[in-house]
């Protein structure tokens, strides 16, 4: 008479070698991971919704970040669980290898050469076992119902969108000015199309809000900026920024440049000599005797009696020129590029 212990051992041995049973077992474990994840998501949702008002969010972005952090915690638990299942699948597949590329392994080649018929028979059986395993694993996954019908995440979004952030402040403007271009206006030194691109928070050396006015649902903000990249010259700009409320916070709708100019230090005034050159035409020629690239800005008096601004770059220890057709000229600044 077979003992109970022997029967149990026989069952465990058969189950551990049965590819279909292995696939069903791992598939159910993966389903359990999904169900636990759905329960955890619902718990996170219920807790966040119940405590939303007590968090005292000032901005939508702040609320969304906390909601995302809560979801990330639940997702990490699921990822850890799924990682363990993936390892089980990997170990199970290793029990019945069917990859023909294994023949490149010298040990496998030796086994094949010793008894090709036996090797091919085992390979065919492994293919059959692998199919049983993959089919069982897939069927278990397809039958799994881990959906969560109780959580309506749209209620979280409604709560977040009900937050009206305070009016745009200096920190908000500094953030939103990144990647914006401050353009020259008509009649300026640098000409239409020229612009100063803000690419980093470090480019903004100073920002002052001069005036802030609510216009309908938007804000018109007069701002004074001091801008500088590395060792280049400083620029100052006066802007009117129109801010609108976006999905998460105040953002810039558009910028009107009232003025942008280079700060005049006078440090490089002795680096440039200027003379009128006559040839095929008349030009102003600039000679740079210093080893840094410089910008020369000035004005030309036209025959109609009006002054027109200009600027030009002169390479280190180099020369530059502009066309000159006027009665007089004056140099307003010489500064580092």
Record the tokens describing residue 183, joined without a space: 């353009």
Q: Write down the domain spans for the chain.
A: 17-161, 170-262, 269-336
Query: What is the 3-state secondary structure of the chain?
Result: CCCHHHHHHHHHHHHHHCHHHHHHHHHHHHHHHHHHHHHHHHHHHHHHHHHHHHHCCCCHHHHHHHHHHHHHHHHHHHHHHHHHHHHHHHHHHHHCCCCHHHHHCHHHHHHHHHCHHHHHHHHHHHHHHHHHHHHHHHHHHHHCCCCCCCCCCHHHHHHHHCCCCCCCCHHHHHHHHCCCEEECCCCCCCCCCCEEECCCHHHEEEEEEEEEEEECCEEEEEEEEEECCCCCCCEEEEEEEEEEECCCCEEEEEEEEEEEEECCCCCCHHHEEEEEEECCCEEEEEEECCCCCEEEEEEEECCCCCEEEEEEEECCCCEEEEECCCCEEEEEEEEEC
Question: Which of 33, 14, 11, 15 minimizes the C-alpha distance to 140?
Answer: 33
What's the whole-model pTM score? 0.61
In the CATH scheme, what architecture does the domain 269-336 have?
A: Sandwich (2.60)
- pLDDT tens-digit map of 254-264: 999 999 999 99
> How far, in Å, CA of 45 to CA of 274, rounded?
72
- Given this model, what pLDDT does residue 103 score? 56
Record the tokens describing residue 48, joined without a space: 């966040």
110: how many CB neighbours lie within 10 A of its CB?
9
- Given this model, what pLDDT does residue 291 score? 96
321: how many CB neighbours lie within 10 A of its CB?
15
154: how many CB neighbours lie within 10 A of its CB?
8
pLDDT tens for the chain, 337 residues long, are 444 444 344 443 445 678 899 888 988 999 999 899 989 988 999 999 999 999 988 888 889 999 999 999 889 999 999 999 899 888 888 787 776 556 566 766 676 677 677 766 777 787 888 888 888 888 888 888 877 666 677 888 888 888 888 888 999 999 999 999 999 888 899 987 889 999 999 999 999 999 999 999 899 999 999 999 988 899 999 999 999 988 878 999 999 999 999 999 999 999 999 999 987 889 999 999 999 999 999 999 998 999 999 999 999 999 999 999 889 999 999 999 8
Q: What is the CATH number of domain 170-262?
A: 3.10.450
């Amino acid at each position: 008479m077979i003992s109970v212990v022997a029967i149990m051992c026989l069952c465990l041995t058969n189950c551990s070698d049965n590819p279909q049973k292995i696939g069903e077992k791992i598939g159910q474990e993966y389903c359990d991971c999904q169900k636990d994840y759905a329960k955890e998501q619902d718990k996170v949702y219920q807790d966040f919704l119940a405590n939303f008002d007590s968090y005292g969010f000032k901005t939508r972005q702040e609320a969304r970040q906390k909601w995302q952090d809560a979801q990330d915690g639940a997702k990490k638990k699921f990822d850890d669980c799924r990682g363990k299942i993936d390892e089980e699948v990997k170990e199970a597949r290793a029990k019945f290898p069917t990859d023909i590329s294994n023949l490149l392994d010298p040990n496998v080649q030796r086994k094949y050469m010793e008894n090709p018929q036996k090797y091919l028979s085992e390979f065919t059986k492994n293919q059959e076992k692998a199919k049983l395993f993959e089919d069982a694993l897939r069927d278990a996954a397809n039958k799994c119902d881990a959906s969560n019908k109780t959580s309506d995440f749209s209620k979280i979004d409604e709560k977040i969108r009900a937050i009206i952030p305070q009016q745009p402040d200096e920190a908000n403007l500094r953030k939103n000015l990144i990647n914006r271009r401050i353009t020259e206006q008509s009649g300026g030194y640098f000409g239409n199309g020229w612009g100063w691109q803000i690419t980093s928070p470090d480019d903004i050396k100073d920002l002052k809000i001069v005036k802030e006015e609510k216009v309908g649902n938007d804000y018109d903000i007069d701002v004074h900026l001091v801008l500088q990249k590395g060792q280049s010259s400083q620029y100052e700009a006066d802007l009117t920024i129109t801010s609108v409320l976006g999905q998460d916070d105040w953002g810039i709708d558009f910028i009107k440049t009232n003025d942008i100019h280079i700060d005049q230090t006078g440090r490089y005034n002795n680096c440039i000599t200027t003379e009128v050159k006559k040839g095929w035409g008349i030009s102003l020629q600039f000679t740079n005797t210093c080893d840094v690239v410089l910008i020369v800005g000035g004005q030309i008096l036209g025959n109609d009696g009006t002054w027109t601004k200009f600027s030009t770059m002169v390479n280190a220890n180099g020369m530059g020129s502009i066309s000159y057709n006027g009665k007089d000229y004056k140099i307003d600044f010489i500064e580092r590029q």
